[in-house]
């Protein structure tokens, strides 16, 4: 069985019921989520030995989070404890022309106070095939960035492949460093990079010529992203493959979705999905990453891997919560054309 280790922050997610605005809500639906934890849950659903590393406080809310992850099949033995609080994010789900909103309450969370040397990375990465992190973690604090770099270096030394979802979050870079200052040193140790057009531009100044995400109308020329992939691979020579998620936003409830995977020679393109009634798009990129890692670990061709990633993520858009609670058979059925939504009896 393949083993994948992910590292980052998991938060308490408080979302307004249905499509209520924050000003209307009198209660919130509570669950948990976070980029790297979301990837671990996806992989565990697919039968991968998925482990999640983070730092959490000693309290009942953190215990509830760990119990949920353990119940979803994620290994939690390398989580470390300390600090006073778990981060929180509030979600208002948008509809049609009104976009969704996220409000963060994660300052001084336990993981933002992490430092190098706190995690035994040689132990955590023993026997691992992949180590995965996202650009969210180094945005939290200098200590989190340093701990992430420590993990990447150990993974490189141990021969563990490293993947990164660039995940640019402008609201998080507040400790005096910018993404463009910090991210290059971390991404240099990666074998696989995932991002979108905004991530690459904001962090490295790389963008597809003539592309504007706000003006796609749902139609995206996937070949326009070859230049982005090539530039990323030129900037980071260790990188063997680059994946780009392609979201065409018609409105908050209706998106087109797909992705490409570039290996330095060939641009592999997934099927495009027309998602007409989005239930919850939060975690969509993470579900793509989880599907891609599974695909690369399981299937003989990159085409199969990118198709699995896109299909898995298309299904995530129908599921409430950060986690993608789907199985391999469900994803493969969609790839084969089973998207009618008929009752399974």
Q: Are 17 and 27 in contact (CB under 8 A)?
A: yes
**What's the pLDDT tens digit per position in 119-136?**
999 999 999 999 999 999
- Percent of the chain topping pLDDT 90: 86
**How far is CA 93 from each of CA 164, 213, 246, rounded to the nearest angstrom?**
27, 20, 21
**Cα distance between residue 111 and residue 143, in whole Å:** 9
pTM: 0.94
Look at residues 46, 41, 22 and name the one whose alpha carbon lies nearest to residue 31.
41
The confidence band for 117, taking pLDDT boundaries of 50, 70 and 90, is very high
The confidence band for 209, taking pLDDT boundaries of 50, 70 and 90, is low
b/e per residue, 278-297, with b = 16+ CB within 10 A?
bebbbbbbbbbbbbbbbbbb
**What's the pLDDT tens digit per position in 22-49?**
999 999 999 999 999 999 999 999 999 9
Where in the chain does DSSP place strands (E)?
Answer: 3-7, 11-15, 29-33, 49-53, 55-56, 80-81, 88-92, 101-105, 130-134, 161-165, 192-195, 241-251, 254-262, 267-269, 273-275
**Cα distance between residue 29 and residue 151, in whole Å:** 34
- The rounded mean pLDDT for the chain is 93
**Cα distance between residue 294 and residue 45, in whole Å:** 10
84 contact partners, CB below 8 Å, separation of at least 6:
57, 108, 110
- Give residue 217's pLDDT: 54
Counted residue by residue, the chain has a size of 345
Q: What is the mean pLDDT of residues 86-109?
A: 94
Chain-centre distance for alpha carbon 222:
21
- The partner residues of 50 in beta bridges, in order of sequence, read 4
DSSP classification of residue 216? -
Look at residues 80, 84, 89, 191 and name the one whose alpha carbon lies nearest to residue 130.
191
Is pLDDT at 211 greater than 60 in this prediction? Answer: no
- Cα separation of the two ends of the chain: 31
- Give residue 343's pLDDT: 44
Q: Are 125 and 78 in contact (CB under 8 A)?
A: no
- Give residue 345's pLDDT: 44
**What backbone phi and psi angles, to 5 degrees, belong to 68?**
-65, -45
Is pLDDT at 340 greater than 70 in this prediction? Answer: no
3-state secondary structure of 338: coil
Tokens 């570039």, located at residue: 262
Tokens 């007409």, located at residue: 276
The confidence band for 218, taking pLDDT boundaries of 50, 70 and 90, is low
Handedness of CA 259, 208, 301, 285 (dihedral sign): negative
Chain-centre distance for alpha carbon 211:
23
Q: Which domains does the chain have, with CATH numbers?
A: 3-335 (3.40.1190.20)
């Amino acid at each position: 069985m393949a083993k994948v280790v992910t590292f980052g922050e998991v938060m308490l997610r408080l979302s307004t019921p249905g499509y209520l605005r924050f000003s209307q809500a009198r209660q919130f639906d509570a669950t948990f989520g976070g980029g790297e934890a979301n990837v671990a849950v996806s992989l565990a659903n697919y039968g991968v030995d998925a482990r999640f590393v983070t730092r959490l406080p000693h309290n009942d809310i953190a215990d509830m989070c760990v119990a949920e992850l353990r119940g979803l099949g994620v290994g939690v033995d390398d989580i470390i404890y300390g600090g006073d609080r778990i981060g929180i994010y509030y979600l208002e789900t948008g509809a049609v022309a009104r976009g969704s909103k996220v409000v963060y309450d994660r300052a001084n969370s336990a993981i933002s106070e992490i430092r190098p040397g706190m995690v035994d990375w040689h132990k955590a990465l023993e026997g691992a095939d992949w180590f995965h992190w996202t650009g969210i973690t180094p945005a939290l604090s200098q200590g989190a960035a340093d701990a992430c770099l420590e993990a990447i270096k150990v993974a490189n030394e141990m021969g563990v492949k490293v993947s990164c979802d660039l995940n640019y979050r402008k609201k998080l870079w507040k400790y005096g460093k910018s993404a463009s200052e910090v991210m290059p040193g971390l991404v240099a140790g990666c074998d696989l990079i995932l991002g979108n057009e905004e991530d690459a531009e904001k962090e490295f100044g790389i963008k597809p010529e003539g592309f504007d995400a706000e003006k796609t109308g749902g139609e995206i020329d996937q070949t326009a992203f070859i230049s982005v992939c090539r530039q990323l691979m030129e900037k980071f020579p260790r990188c063997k493959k680059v994946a780009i998620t392609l979201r065409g936003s018609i409105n908050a409830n209706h998106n087109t979705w797909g992705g490409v995977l570039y290996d330095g020679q060939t641009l592999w393109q997934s099927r495009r999905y027309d998602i007409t009634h989005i239930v919850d798009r939060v975690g969509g990129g993470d579900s793509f990453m989880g599907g891609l890692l599974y695909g690369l670990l399981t299937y003989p061709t990159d085409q199969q891997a990118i198709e699995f990633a896109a299909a898995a993520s298309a299904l995530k858009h129908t599921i409430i919560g950060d986690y993608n609670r789907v199985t391999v058979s469900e994803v493969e059925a969609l790839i084969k054309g089973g998207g009618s939504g008929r009752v399974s009896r």
